[in-house]
Amino acid sequence: QSLQDKLNGAFRTLKGKDRITDINVAATTKEVRRALVDADVNFKIAKDITDRIRETAMDRKILISVEPGQMFVKIVQEELTRLMGSNSESISIKGDPAVILIAGLQGSGKTTFSGKLAAMLKKQGKQVMLAACDIYRPAAIDQLKVLGEQIGVEVYAEPENKNAVAIAQQAIAYARQNGKKIVIVDTAGRLAVDEAMMQEVEDIKKALNPSEILFVVDSMTGQDAVNTAKTFNERLNFDGVVLTKLDGDSRGGAALSIRQVVEKPIKFISTGEKMEALDLFHPDRMASRILGMGDVISLVERAQQAFDEEEARRLNAKMRQNKFDFDDFLGQLQQIKKMGNVKDLIGMIPGMGAAIKNLDIDNSSFVPIEAMIQSMTKKERANPELIDSSRKKRIAQGSGKSITEVNNLLKQFDEMRKMMRKMNTMQAAGKLGKALK
Ligand code: GDP
pLDDT digits (tens, 9 = 90+) for 250-261: 557 778 888 888
Read off the DSSP letter of residue 19: S
Has residue 1 got a pLDDT over 50?
no
Class of domain 98-293: alpha beta
CA 433 from chain centre, in angstroms, equals 34
pLDDT digits (tens, 9 = 90+) for 174-193: 999 999 999 999 998 877 77
Q: Is the CB of 271 under 6 A from ligand 1?
A: yes
> CA geometry: angle at 116 spanning 199 and 236, to 5°?
20
Pairing of strands 98-104, 212-218: parallel
Residue type at position 2: S
Q: Is the CB of 344 under 6 A from ligand 1?
A: no
Termini Cα distance of the chain: 41
pLDDT at residue 120 in the model: 94
**Ligand 1 atom with the shortest distance to the CA of 106:** 2
CA nearest ligand 1 atom 20, residue:
109
Least confident of 1-5, 84-88, 120-124, 374-378: 1-5
pLDDT class of 222 with cuts at 50, 70, 90: confident
| Of 416 and 291, more confident | 416
CA nearest ligand 1 atom 26, residue:
272
Predicted ipTM of the assembly: 0.98
Which residue out of 114, 144, 273 has the highest number of ligand 1 atoms within 8 Å of its CB and is therefore the one to mutate?
273
**Ligand 1 atom with the shortest distance to the CA of 269:** 23
Ligand 1 centre distance from Cα of residue 200 (Å): 22
Distance, in Å, from the CA atom of 147 to the CA atom of 160, rounded to the nearest integer, reads 20
Distance, in Å, from the CA atom of 392 to the CA atom of 395, rounded to the nearest integer, reads 5
Pairing of strands 154-156, 266-270: unpaired
pLDDT class of 2 with cuts at 50, 70, 90: low
Question: Which range has the top average pLDDT, 31-45, 223-237, 274-288, 359-373?
Answer: 223-237
CA nearest ligand 1 atom 10, residue:
107
CATH 1.10.260.30 correct for 303-436? yes
pLDDT (mean) for 254-274:
88
- Binding-site annotation: residue ranges for GTP: 104-111, 186-190, 244-247
Least confident of 5-14, 110-119, 237-246: 5-14
Read off the DSSP letter of residue 211: S
pLDDT at residue 62 in the model: 42
**Ligand 1 atom with the shortest distance to the CA of 216:** 3
Give the residue from 197, 199, 251 showing the smallest Cα distance to 224: 251
Who contacts 157 (Cβ-Cβ below 8 Å, separation ≥6)?
Answer: 131, 132, 141, 144, 145, 167
Q: Is the CB of 270 under 6 A from ligand 1?
A: yes
Has residue 8 got a pLDDT over 70?
no
| Of 267 and 53, more confident | 267
Distance, in Å, from the CA atom of 81 to the CA atom of 361, rounded to the nearest integer, reads 30
Q: Is the CB of 245 under 6 A from ligand 1?
A: yes
Domain borders along the chain are: 3-83, 98-293, 303-436
Least confident of 59-63, 252-256, 289-293: 59-63
pLDDT (mean) for 350-361:
62
CB 204 within 8 A of CB 185: yes
Has residue 3 got a pLDDT over 60?
no
Q: Is the CB of 85 under 6 A from ligand 1?
A: no
pLDDT at residue 65 in the model: 41
- Binding-site annotation: residue ranges: 104-111, 186-190, 244-247
How far from 110 is each of 183, 321, 339, 348, 426, CA to CA, in Å? 15, 48, 21, 24, 51
Instruction: Say how many C-beta atoms besides its own lie within 10 A of residue 139's C-beta.
Output: 9
The matching CATH number, chosen from 1.20.120.140, 1.20.58.220, 3.20.20.70, 3.40.50.1110, for 3-83 is: 1.20.120.140
Ligand 1 centre distance from Cα of residue 364 (Å): 20
Q: Is the CB of 298 under 6 A from ligand 1?
A: no
How far from 148 is each of 178, 197, 280, 357, 393, CA to CA, in Å? 16, 25, 21, 32, 43
Q: What is the pTM of this model?
A: 0.69
pLDDT (mean) for 328-349:
75
Q: Transcribe 220-276 into DSSP letters.
A: GGTHHHHHHHHHHHHHH--SEEEEE--STT--THHHHHHHHHH---EEEEE-SSSTT
Ligand 1 centre distance from Cα of residue 290 (Å): 22
Which residue out of 112, 215, 244 has the highest number of ligand 1 atoms within 8 Å of its CB and is therefore the one to mutate?
112
CB 210 within 8 A of CB 101: yes
Q: Tell me the β-bridge partners of 214.
A: 102, 240
What value does the mean pLDDT of the chain take? 82
CA 129 from chain centre, in angstroms, equals 23
Residue type at position 69: G
